[in-house]
Amino acid sequence: MEAFFSHDYVYTAGIYSIVVMSIIMTLAIFEWVTKYGTWTEIKQGNVAVALATGGKVFGVANVFRHSIMANDSVLALLGWGVFGFVLLLFVYFIYEFLTPGFKVDEELKRDNKAVGLLSFILSVALSYVIGASIG
């Protein structure tokens, strides 16, 4: 069985599946902590929410990219991926805290593209910082 999992195509498909499921789970958690319905807003054409969500997806995928490159075991990959996601979730709360003049969720729901773009950039940029520290 070990030889089966050592095949590059099987390994890639397995890692891909793990990361896709992880992204789905992280999106569900983000849906739970935000004050708007992500997919309802995106369906209505809300670009700000789409940007914020895209940044979250990119950020999580980027953390997993670095985790894949730095770790040989699936358990270590998942551990770093989860830890990176927690840090990205923390970024979301910091962004809300650092903008006392407005509520990020309310601005995203109002389709404030500037807030959405900044949310995207924060998620992407800090995913590189998180990824660079994965060992």
pLDDT tens, residue by residue, 17-26: 999 999 999 9
3-state helix, strand, coil in the chain (%, to 5): 80, 0, 20
Contact by Cβ (8 Å): 11, 82: no
Please, which pLDDT band fits residue 3 given cuts at 50, 70 and 90? Answer: low
Check residue 73 and give its pLDDT. Answer: 81
Q: Collapsing DSSP states into helix, strand and coil, what is residue 6?
A: coil
Of 14, 11, 92, the residue nearest 53 (C-alpha): 92
Check residue 4 and give its pLDDT. Answer: 56
Say yes or no to pLDDT of 36 above 90: yes
The whole domain housing 20 covers: 2-133
Check residue 12 and give its pLDDT. Answer: 87
Which amino acid makes up residue 109?
K
Report helix angle 47-70 to 74-97, nearest 10. Answer: 140
When divided into structural domains, the chain yields a total of 1
- Please state, in angstroms and rounded to a whole number, the distance separating the CA atoms of residues 74 and 58: 20
Check residue 122 and give its pLDDT. Answer: 95
Q: How large is the average pLDDT for residues 125-134?
A: 93
Say yes or no to pLDDT of 71 above 50: yes
Query: Mean pLDDT across the chain, nearest whole number?
Result: 91
Report helix angle 113-133 to 74-97, nearest 10. Answer: 140
